[in-house]
Structure 1
């Protein structure tokens, strides 16, 4: 971690010059400057951005208040939507605690819930209560030992009146807050900088834009931690939220729901999580989809590669049923019929299958497939393949013969 000593108030021009010039006492070439925001539940499920230049967010996972927990329900979606926008997501805990026992209670609860990648910032927001130096250092070490970048946030006046902040700053980076006023402020005023050792993040306003928003500046590149080369689409480790974010970032196309489809089966087919599919399409109830409904799905899954010709593939001889599967969906996926699967597997009731059940498919026989191209029609494809559009429609379980899309795999 780089260490920098910010200059005292009253010399703004010197401060700005220092921020833009190489650091004389380190091997690093220049000081990196990133702008970003921090959020609680008041910024909603998707968060709120100030300017196009913003490239990181720090979302509140929850608060600890001397033994009481208050989770933030917006945390996971804020993280995933930050990643989806090709920006870097980090985490903070509102931390009102004293003593190692309370530090353990707080971190035992919140550390397993962190959804930003290992190496990312997990910041302790210490701005109330009666903290003590020993327990704060203990808590920061626990965050670091868990594999995250441990940062202490607060107001200089509060922290110095309760803690040996100089001792803490020798071991961990600081994020300090100081506001000149409550007017809309897009750029830091370094006359109002809370100068101290090892300040790597500066929250310079709570009115970054009209209506209120915390605005932050990163002086050292600390907000690149946890992301390979600072690339928001390449977190060093995956979490459900970062996975969802990367999936939301992918190119997508339309998929029309067919009879028998389930959201989990569609998600699996296109290499997505159900959460990503739900978020992408604004679905309020994952159990309520209907034939003919048009969903956006990722281009990376099955049937997504546009081909110039029909191909022949060999089907798998068996299939293990997963949660959310239906017999009609499996039949469609493998180019067969419900009745053929039911007969082959001795199934008397096609509506009664269960996760983990092993199905025989078509015994390893070849199934011919065609990948739809831009401009194709079902009748044109049928003519090219020597079949009829009605046969294609039935074979693929299409609810509407006019609704096919580039990248879709058809069986014939």
Structure 2
């Protein structure tokens, strides 16, 4: 079977694309982020007749608490799709640990009766080997990274696992492509809980309290940082986001829209200029500090002069990275990264390569 995995930088329509068999959706990260498109992507994939799954991106905090948070957010979907742990180096404080993943999946199993599959890059399988007796292996390795559904020859070791359950074989064109070496019956067997506990159907008091107490401060943050946090779900949604961002809401929301859609840049800069003229971002050094990397462009619009491109930041590609994954970590549209670095289809990147963004 072939399928894709999606996060907030893919659309609901992509989650329900034709010609594939399954869609695995990012649901949560750490203990504060929920993919704002998760429900829409889930529904779209379901309407398309796809088998479905949900994954949690490890932040490396307390594994039991991260597992509780994951289940609290997707409890209504338990038993309806496979569950997965995304074990990557980026934004993961526990990267390198050989016990974190096992503690996470055991917590999930104790609450739901389900053993999650483990997503990991080919070079880091040893870190999650302790999960092999219980969990399926979802390995990431790109022999060609072509923007194609032609599956190349598998040339990776599987460590403690005898076989691979799912292989993410390419992220070419900004879309993660996977092939599953199981059928729909096996998929549903992995997804279905054998002994669901009350904890899976009810949010624990501890999680409720943690979510209730979660707060966000705009103090000493640049617009870029606030926009990135907004894309990551850290500023809430709807009225909560408006209240959280306060006077910065209009500008930050515009910037967040640009980070998710490269075509929104001109509109975002115009709105930031308007908000700046209103005095939202202060004057002088205060304005420069808050606008950060966008200061020159915004000021140029206000002054009616030629726009000056902001200084480029760089990211060093790690083994297993994809353009879409890097974009998600940085809060930048993957297409923007590709454009700035002259990367074209099949969008191949290499470990050690420095990308401007």
- How high is the TM-score relative to the length of structure 2? 0.47
Task: Return the structure number with greater helix share.
Answer: 2
Task: Return the structure number with greater strand share.
Answer: 1
* Higher CA-based Rg: 1
- How high is the TM-score relative to the length of structure 1? 0.41
